[in-house]
Structure 1
Amino acid sequence: MSSNNESIFPPATPTMSKKRADLAPDQVEAFRNFSSEVFKEGALDEKTKQLIAVASAHITQCPYCIKGHTKQAKQKGATNEEIMEAIWVAAEMRAGGSYAHAALAIDEIEKIDGL
């Protein structure tokens, strides 16, 4: 496994969080409130919400989100198998988007070829 020193991304630290908050305090407060509301237990339990977040983080390819939401999912009781299955759902959705959008290329090909 790689260490933080090997990463191309700076580590997520309290100092980094403070710098972001200092630069845009109102927006950070609004984002934190929004995040708290989104991840509260509701129609979906917190574990399920974190599994959705793990999958979404893989689709958006945010390394900070992947790490943070994987940790949260584990803390909410997700199993390793559930996390990996959520990641596979994300992989299918990302690949499925490429497959579905092939219709755009086919449409252009048909226009050019006069079909």
Structure 2
Amino acid sequence: MDNQNELFPPATSELAKKKAELAPENIEAWRNFSKTVFKAGALDEKTKQLIAIAVAHVTQCPYCIRSHTSQAMRKGVTGEQIMEAIWVASEMRAGAAYAHASIAMDEIEKKS
């Protein structure tokens, strides 16, 4: 299924080059930051990619989902691990909505 092009422009190397040319220092800093963040450290690269996939689903970034899923699979992450990470992200997003109900409850209590 490749319907993403209907809502979002494709991420092409040409577009990336044009964006980089408009802010070369910023893109260089971003690339260095990204390389540093995703290097193995206390967490291995596979774990970092699974975290990125989960966060990408919470932030709803289609480009990040595609990129980090692809990178994770190149690192040896399985489809099952990816789906499990997505379910963790789903639970956290739903849990946050429920947790924020306390704010609404606080307002309800003030009006009672």
Compute the TM-score of the two structures, normalised by the length of structure 1: 0.94
Distance 1:58 1:23, change over 3 A: same
Tell me the residue number matched to 2:58: 59
Runs of 4+, deviation exceeding 6 Å: none
Structure 1 partner of 2:80: 81
| Cα distance in 2 for residues equivalent to 1:18 and 1:72 | 20
Match of 1:36 in 2: 35
Could you tell me which residue of structure 2 aligns to residue 69 of structure 1? Answer: 68
Aligned partner of residue 78 in structure 1, secondary structure: coil
User: What is the deviation of 1:2?
Assistant: 2.5
Number of aligned pairs?
112
Q: State the partner residue of 2:15.
A: 16
Query: What value does the CA root-mean-square deviation take over the aligned residues?
Result: 1.0
**Structure 1, unpaired ranges of 5+:** none
For residues 63 and 99 of structure 2, the distance between their equivalents in structure 1, rounded to whole angstroms, comes to 28
Q: Identity, % of aligned pairs?
A: 67
**Structure 1 Cα separation of the partners of residues 31 and 67 of structure 2:** 14
> Distance in 1 between the 2:47 and 2:4 partners?
28
> For residues 27 and 97 of structure 1, what CA distance do their matches in structure 2 show?
33
Q: CA deviation at 1:19?
A: 1.1
Partner deviation per Cα, 1:26-68 (whole Å, 9 max, x = no partner): 1111010000000000000000000000000000000000000
CA distance in 1, matches of 2:51, 2:104: 30
1:95 maps to 2:90: no
Q: SS where residue 39 of structure 2 aligns?
A: coil
Separation in 1, partners of 2:3, 2:96? 33
